[in-house]
Amino acid sequence: MPDTFLDKDTPANRFARAREAQAAALLEDYVEMIGDLTAELGEARVADIAERMNVSQPTATKSIARLKREGLATSRPYRGVFLTDEGARLADRVRARHRTVVAFLVRMGVPEEIAELDAEGIEHHVSQVTLSAFEAVLKGEDPA
Amino acid sequence: MPDTFLDKDTPANRFARAREAQAAALLEDYVEMIGDLTAELGEARVADIAERMNVSQPTATKSIARLKREGLATSRPYRGVFLTDEGARLADRVRARHRTVVAFLVRMGVPEEIAELDAEGIEHHVSQVTLSAFEAVLKGEDPA
DNA sequence: TGATAAGTATAGCTATGGCTATATTTCGTG
DNA sequence: CACGAAATATAGCCATAGCTATACTTATCA
Ligand SMILES: [Mn+2]
Ligand SMILES: [Mn+2]
Ligand SMILES: [Mn+2]
Ligand SMILES: [Mn+2]
C-alpha cells in the first residue's frame, strides 16, 4: 500500500488537517531554502536565509532554533546552518513537490511568475494522492 | 483590466505573499461557514461554528471577535453571529472558489474525499488568474 | 594587530490562535 | 416561574511567528 506513509495521524476534520499542513509549511520552506543555499553558495548563513524568506534576521534565527529542536538542522553560535540527514531528505521531497506543483500550474495555462507565487502556498496542502495526479497529467496521462 | 482588483498590495517576495494568504485563510473559512450555517439552520451559533471548525468554543469566540473587528461579522452577547454585507460577499466568493478547486481536483483524478481535504488548504493560495485557469479546464477549454 | 564592519544572538515587545477551567446568561421544562 | 441544562463569555495559560533595538562575536583590512 503506497502513499500510506504520509497518512499517519491524519485528522478527520478537514480544517484540522489544513491547520496541521500549515504548521509544517514554515519548516518545509526553511529546509528547502537551506538546501538551496548550501548547494549554491557552499553554506547557509542566517543573513541569507532571512533575506530570501523576507523576514528579519532575528525571526530567521528563531525559526532555525525550531528546526534544530525538531531535528532537521544543526548550527553552532555565529556559524552557518546545516541540515541533518532527516532535514536533507525532507528538503529533497519538498523541492521535488514544489517543482511538480509549479510545472503542473504552468501546464494548466498559468503564467510562470504567478505559478511560482501560488505554488509557494499550494504545495503545503497537496497530498501524495493529488501530487501523483499532477504528475500523471504532466506525463501526458490525461485524466479528462 | 480584469483580475487586477485582487492584486492590491501584493508583496514582491513569494514567501511574504504566502504568509499574507495564510493570514486571510482563517477569516475566509469562518465567513464561509457562518454563511453555510445561516443558510442551513437559519442562524450561526458559536457552538455550531466551533464544532464544524474542530476548535473549542472559546477559540471560536475569539476568532469571531476578529471577524467583528475586521468588519466581516456582528454579534451581541449570548446571541448568534451575523455576516455584514462585506462578510456575506466574501463568503460567496470563498464558497465559489472552494467549489471550483474541489471540482478541478476531482477532474484531475483525485478522489472526492481527498479533493475536499486538500482543497481546504489549497483554496487560500489560488490567485484569480489560477482560478480562471481551473475554470477554463472545467469548461472543457483544455490547455494541454 | 587593532579598529571597524559585518554577522549573529539576545531581549523584549506584539498579534494570532490554540487550550482548559470557570463564570454568566439564556433557554426549556416541570 | 423557578430551576437545571445548555450556550456563551471570560480569565489565564501556551506556542508560534513576526518586529526593533542592542549586545556580542567574528572577519577584514589599513
Ligand atoms: Mn512554500
Ligand atoms: Mn517552496
Ligand atoms: Mn479553507
Ligand atoms: Mn473552504
B2 within some domain? no
pTM, two decimal places:
0.92
Size of interface A-B (CB pairs under 8 A): 115
Question: How many domains, chain B?
Answer: 1
Q: From chain B, pick out residues whose CB is under 8 angstroms from the CB of A109.
A: 133, 136, 143
C-alpha closest to that of B125 among A142, A61, A117, A110 = A117
| Residue at A2 is within a domain | no
**Which residues, in sequence order, are CB contacts of A60 under 8 Å at separation 6+?**
A46, A49, A50, A53
A53 reaches B (C-beta below 8 A): yes
DSSP 8-class letter at A83: E
**The predicted structure's pLDDT at residue B128:** 98
* Alpha-carbon A25 to chain mean position: 6
Question: For position A9, what pLDDT does the model report?
Answer: 63
Query: C-alpha grid cell for residue B95?
Result: 464558497
Chain B contacts in chain A segment 19-38 (CB below 8 A) = 21-22, 25, 29
- The answer to whether position A64 is within a domain reads yes
> A 66-125 residues with CB below 8 A of B?
105, 107-111, 114-118, 120-122, 124-125
pLDDT, tens digit (0-9, with 9 covering 90-100), for A24-81: 999 999 999 999 999 999 999 999 999 999 999 999 999 999 999 999 999 999 999 9
Residue B79 counted as domain residue: yes
Residue A3 reports pLDDT greater than 50: no
Helix (H) or strand (E) holding A139: none
Of B17, B117, B137, the CB nearest to A117: B17
- For residue B139, the tally of other CB atoms under 10 A from its CB is 8
Q: If you average pLDDT over every residue of chain B, what do you get?
A: 93
**Domain range spanning residue B36?**
14-138
- Tell me the pLDDT band of B143, cut-offs 50, 70 and 90: low
Per-residue pLDDT for B66 more than 80? Answer: yes
D8 C1' – A92 CA distance, angstroms? 48
Q: Examine residue A78 and state whether it is found in any structural domain, yes or no.
A: yes
In a 13 Å sphere around the CA of B42, the CA atoms on its Cβ side amount to 0
For the stretch B3-58, pLDDT in tens is 443 344 677 799 999 999 999 999 999 999 999 999 999 999 999 999 999 999 99
Residue B1 lies in a domain: no
